[in-house]
Amino acid sequence: MNIKDRIEIELNRAYSPILNDALACIVELTYDSEELQRLHNTLEGLDLPIDSEALSIALDRAQDDYKALDERFDALSDRYDKLSDIADKYAELSDTLLYKV
């Protein structure tokens, strides 16, 4: 029998504010422990490091990769805009040469 069960039994026999607070703390710690385990499982599932220092390094690396990709996207977006402008001008010239000359 664990401490939580023992406190619940004692609370059922005779209510005590201190035991009630202790039970609330145990329930909260249990929830935190389960939440920590879910986080741990998520990190493992994503093949990410579990210790905070290695995770921080991985996060920094991911932010750097994101910035590099963002800059590359901006450059590709600019290139697309320029090519689109050229295509529009080509279409105008073609229209002029075919229909207005």
Give the global pTM.
Answer: 0.45
Q: Give tens-digit pLDDT for 28-59.
A: 878 778 888 888 888 888 888 877 788 889 88
Hey, how many other C-beta atoms are within 10 angstroms of the C-beta on 97? 9
Q: What is the pLDDT of residue 101?
A: 60
Euclidean distance between CA atoms 61 and 49, whole angstroms: 13
How confident is the model over 61-101, as pLDDT tens digits? 999 999 999 999 999 999 999 999 999 999 988 888 888 76
